[in-house]
Amino acid sequence: MKFQGRVALVTGGSRGIGKATALKLASEGATVAVHYSRSGAKAEGVCAEIYGEYQQKALPFQADVSDREAVNKMVAAVTKELGTIDLLVNNAGDVGDMTFDELTPEHWDRIVAINLTGPFNVLWAVKPGMIEQQFGRIVNVSSIAALAVRPNQLPYAAAKAGVISLTKSCCGPLAQHNIRINSVAPGAIATDMLSEVSSEMVEQLRSTTPLGRLGEPEEMADVIAFLLSEESSYMTGATVIASGGRILIP
């Protein structure tokens, strides 16, 4: 049991990669705080599934990750109910496709707030506890959109590139406190986010992926669990690309 006795916070844990990660960590012994923004019933369902499947404690916690005060209150509540957070998965995000010509400053602000300011807020709320206990493992979920041209996802791609930079910039200061921080850049994954795009686009994503299929949330959860575990003990500040080969495509 890789995470026996550890407390994990998974943001955006009610669905997709977040849900798969919460289940994965619980299967390896972690107590899990399942964060959600709007999907309270789904988060409660994930917690029930964790208890029913693995007899591990899991509780839902709500916050808008772009709201710093709300995040601070959430982390305080998690710490009170479950204990100091040992493992953090910054997964909450929103794509918000919009063409270059349609893009507005308001849309930019919202997407960047969720995808870049949000991970910063959660990280900054969690790190004092990790520093105090001299232990922490953090994974930020980026995207291959950060590494390639995405004209219909300009703010999303920019924010996810920022997540990679945040990861790199924090690894040195955190390392002296026995805190490792890495990121993962998923490709096209079969999650609810794909419901925002047309079936034609989904098929294009599938057909242009060298492995010939979409990724599964559980595959991303395996990568995240590896980065949180001591199997990756000499890794920090790194970004693991898990894209079925799509990073090879412009």
> Is 156 among the catalytic positions?
yes
| Cα–Cα dist 247/250, whole Å | 7
Q: Which two tokens stand for residue 39?
A: 């999907």
Q: Do 87 and 31 form a contact (C-beta atoms < 8 A)? A: no
Out of 36, 51, 54, 156, the active site residue is 156
Distance CA 235, CA 239 (A): 10
Q: Which residues pair with 31 in a beta bridge?
A: 7
Task: Give the strands of the sheet with 239-242, arranged side by side.
Answer: 58-62, 31-36, 7-10, 87-90, 136-141, 179-186, 239-242
Phi, psi of 102 (to 5 degrees): -85, -20
Q: Which residues of 131-144 are buried (b: 16+ CB within 10 A; e: fewer)?
A: beeebbbbbbbbbb
**Residues involved in catalysis:** 156
